Amino acid sequence: MSTLKSIHARVVAAQESPDAIPLTLRPGDVVHVRQAHPDRTGYVWVEDGQLSAGWVPMDLIDTHSGRTKAKAEYCSAELSVQPGDSVRLIWEDPAHGACWCEDRHSERGWVRNECLQFEEAEG
């Protein structure tokens, strides 16, 4: 039987979460793509037509079916972090250069890999 080890990372660069209610998508959800991210290639601002919006990888959006729809499950929540913070890594998305993390207040969201310094797992 193996023991799961917690993996942590230290924040080395600040990241601010967008001032929006995070978007939670399921495959087939109709969305509205607004603009490309100013400094993250492949990310676009997506709205659900209600209250939620956020940055979503463009490869998760189907623009060829007549209506713009989500191709996969995704949550756009991002964590606001500052240098020196420590976060617990829950899931890494190497295709999009980010990790789903939990901060010391149990808040969860994406943190860009370039904001993180990965630490060795403690046994």
Q: CATH no. for residue 90?
A: 2.30.30.40
* Cα 59 to Cα 22: distance, rounded to the nearest angstrom: 18
Q: Does any domain span residue 1?
A: no
pTM: 0.85
Mean pLDDT of 41-62: 95
pLDDT of the residue at 120 = 62
E-strand ranges in the chain read 8-11, 24-25, 32-36, 43-47, 53-57, 61-62, 69-70, 74-75, 86-93, 98-102, 108-112, 116-118
Same domain, 29 and 61: yes
62 assigned to some structural domain? yes
Residue 3 has pLDDT above 50, yes or no: no
One domain, residues 12 and 31: no
Task: Convert the pLDDT of each residue in 56-106 to its tens digit.
Answer: 999 999 998 889 999 999 999 999 999 999 999 999 999 999 999 999 999
Domain count, the chain: 2
Same domain as 63, residue 29 = yes
- Range(s) of the domain holding residue 46: 24-75
Same domain assignment for residues 49 and 88: no
